[in-house]
């Protein structure tokens, strides 16, 4: 069996790393990796391949930034050429990025079966590009690997029941596998002069927050008002918008520690040792839960509803007062059920694909 894996963004590299390990252990599967170049900054891309020991991509498309239409179109053209050339048995895509959409579209038009890792997530907000990508990809997929029961129920409501598998979340595989290495190798806590469990981690990158000046300003004003150190890895998009809107003064407080995007080991260490996470990232909400760190989500809704229902995650949107109030009052729940599987998702996916030959 020949699998063509399409990746292009940081979370996908981490997920692909775990499944590639499982695939490599079986001589019956050949994997060809395509890196679209959707994340093109070294800290967002290259360093992840190196640190996670992910096999070097067989193809690098280098699409870079651009509008959603332009980025997706460029990927479609290149992916179609590659798929015709190597004739894979399966095209494997991850998550909800433009790379995910392009991979599934190109494959389906060539009648190549699609396997989607992290199927069934829904925020029910179609203004989010990621929501459109999820919906389209799931309806094109032949194998839908779901991280939770809630994801399966979302698919069922849309009439998708064939090829659906509850595998757990592959990010949990990565957290369990890499956390000991990260804590041993990373020096980020010492480098930033942080005290473990006495600081907050904040990330902001979604267009709904960065491209709307009033939302971005409100979030930054909330960070400014917090009483603990705030580690703030600055996404390239967020950095551009802060400069464009002239908001640099809002992050100039001594307790806000601005850093470049972190590699996976540093990010895993910073997140696992934080007192609290504030984020608009879907992946980091979930990782915070897996690391048993309370989270405040800087969005009006989330696809990871289980984390909210369990009490580990609270929705604050972009309201300054609400964010600050939730930081003051949030508590760590006593229970932490295994919402996302047992950490053996990669092997389960590998076994399912092998049985389908």
| Structure tokens, 272 | 């696992």
Q: Annotated catalytic residue: which of 35, 205, 235, 255?
A: 205
Secondary structure element (H or E) that encloses residue 152, with its range: helix 149-157
- Contact status, residue 1 vs residue 354, Cβ threshold 8 Å: yes
Q: pLDDT averaged over consecutive 10-residue blocks of the chain (357 residues)?
A: 93 92 87 85 62 84 83 95 97 96 98 98 93 97 97 98 98 96 96 97 95 97 96 94 96 95 94 98 95 97 95 97 97 92 96 88
- Per-residue tokens: 334: 């006593």
Q: What is the pLDDT of residue 252?
A: 94
pLDDT at 34: 96
Please tell me the pTM assigned to this model. Answer: 0.92
**Catalytic-residue membership of 205:** yes
Cβ distance 339 to 150 under 8 Å?
no
Q: Give residue-wise pLDDT tens across range 263-291.
A: 899 999 999 999 999 999 999 999 999 99
The 3-state DSSP class for residue 228 equals coil
DSSP letters spanning 291-309: TT--EEESSS--S-HHHHH
Whole-angstrom Cα distance, residue 176 to residue 33?
A: 24
Per-residue confidence (pLDDT) for residue 39, from 0 to 100: 63
In this structure, what token pair is assigned to residue 120? 């069934």
The gap between the terminal CA atoms of the chain, to the nearest Å, is 7
Which pLDDT belongs to residue 348?
Answer: 97
Give the angle 90-351-150 at the CA atoms, nearest 5°.
Answer: 85
In the chain the domains, ranked by start, together with CATH numbers, are: 2-169+341-355 (3.40.50.2000), 177-329 (3.40.50.2000)
């Amino acid at each position: 069996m020949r699998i063509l894996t399409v990746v292009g963004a940081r979370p996908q590299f981490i997920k692909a790393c775990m499944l590639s390990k499982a695939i490599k252990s079986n001589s019956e599967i050949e994997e060809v990796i395509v890196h679209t170049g959707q994340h093109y900054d070294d800290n967002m891309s290259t360093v992840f391949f190196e640190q996670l020991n992910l096999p070097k991509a067989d193809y690098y498309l280098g699409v870079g930034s651009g509008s959603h239409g332009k980025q997706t179109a460029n990927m479609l053209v290149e992916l179609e050429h590659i798929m015709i050339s190597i004739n894979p048995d399966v095209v494997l895509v991850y998550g909800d990025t433009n790379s995910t959409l392009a991979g599934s579209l190109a494959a389906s038009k060539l009648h190549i079966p699609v396997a989607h890792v992290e199927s069934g997530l829904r925020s029910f907000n179609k203004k989010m590009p990621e929501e459109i990508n999820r919906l389209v990809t799931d309806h094109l997929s032949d194998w839908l690997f779901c991280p939770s029961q809630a994801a399966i129920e979302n698919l069922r409501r849309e009439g998708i029941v064939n090829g659906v598998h509850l595998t757990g979340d592959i990010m949990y595989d990565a957290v369990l596998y890499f956390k000991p290495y990260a804590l041993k190798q990373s020096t980020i806590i010492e480098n930033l002069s942080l005290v473990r469990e006495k600081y907050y981690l904040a990330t902001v990158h979604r267009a709904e927050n960065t491209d709307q000046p009033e939302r971005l300003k409100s979030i930054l004003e909330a960070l400014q008002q917090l009483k603990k150190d705030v580690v703030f890895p600055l996404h390239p998009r967020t950095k551009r918008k802060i400069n464009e809107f002239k908001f640099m003064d809002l992050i100039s407080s001594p307790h806000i520690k601005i850093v470049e995007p972190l590699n996976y080991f540093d990010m895993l260490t910073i997140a696992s040792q934080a007192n609290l996470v504030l984020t608009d990232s879907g992946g980091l909400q979930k990782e915070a839960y897996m690391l048993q760190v309370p989270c405040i989500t800087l969005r009006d809704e989330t696809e990871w509803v289980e984390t909210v229902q369990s009490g580990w995650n609270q929705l604050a949107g972009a309201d300054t007062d609400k964010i600050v109030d939730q930081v003051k009052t949030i508590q760590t729940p006593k229970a932490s059920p295994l919402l996302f599987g047992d950490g053996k998702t990669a092997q389960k996916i590998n076994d399912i694909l092998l049985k389908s030959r």
